[in-house]
Structure 1
Amino acid sequence: MQEHTAEEQLVVYGAGWCPDVRRSRALLDATGTTYRYVDVEQDAAATELMRRLQGGRRRIPTLVWPDGGHLVEPSDERLRAELAARR
């Protein structure tokens, strides 16, 4: 697996209590995708970033790629498709 700096990695914003976050992280782990996880319950700046991306909302998981592309609450199918398109 290729090493990436934090600025070059996919970032997953979520919270440990959320089953959708756990599901998306499990899929990323299963596919060997490198990412950085940020717990929005512990990071006010992350919450603000999510609100900007989502027009004031705070839905998780929110996945943000280094190029600024992002997904909000993706299904497994949608996340797999995005990963395939980015490989």
Structure 2
Amino acid sequence: MTNFSQPLRFYGTSWCYTSRRARATLDELKIPYEYIDIDSDMEGRKFVEQVNNGNRSVPTIVFPDGSILVEPTVQQLKDKLGVV
């Protein structure tokens, strides 16, 4: 598993199933992340819209290397994290 020196930035919402599923995966794997709820954080919302062509696509997960996953499946997230 990849060892991140900084926490991931996780942009999501409390009502989104995909956000809840991705957070549960990160929690299960004990991956540190900063959660930004785009329903209450306007700067976070603007960022998500900027990187997703105006859409509020969540989760939008930003990794310490600057790469971004948008609405990943559990397997895509695990692949990015280097989990077998």
Same fold (TM over 0.5): yes
Identity of aligned residues (%): 36
- What is the aligned partner in structure 1 of residue 10 from structure 2? 12
- What is the aligned partner in structure 2 of residue 61 from structure 1? 59
Local SS of the residue matching 2:65: coil
- What is the aligned partner in structure 1 of residue 80 from structure 2? 82
Q: Which stretches of structure 1, 4 residues or more, deviate above 2 A after TM superposition?
A: none
Quick one: higher RCO (CA 8 Å, sep 6+), 1 or 2?
A: 2
Q: List runs of 5+ in structure 2 lacking aligned partners.
A: none
Q: How does 1:22-33 map to 2 (within 5 A)?
A: 22-33=20-31
* 1:26 CA drift (Å): 0.4
- What is the aligned partner in structure 1 of residue 35 from structure 2? 37
AA matched with 2:39: E
Distance in 1 (alpha carbons) for counterparts of 2:20 and 2:32: 15
Identify, as 1 or 2, the structure richer in helix: 1
Distance in 2 (alpha carbons) for counterparts of 1:84 and 1:67: 14
Q: List runs of 5+ in structure 1 lacking aligned partners.
A: none
Distance in 2 (alpha carbons) for counterparts of 1:9 and 1:55: 25
Is contact 2:7-2:31 (8 Å) kept?
Answer: no
Local SS of the residue matching 1:71: strand
Distance in 2 (alpha carbons) for counterparts of 1:30 and 1:56: 31
Aligned residues: 81
- What is the aligned partner in structure 1 of residue 70 from structure 2? 72
AA matched with 1:51: E
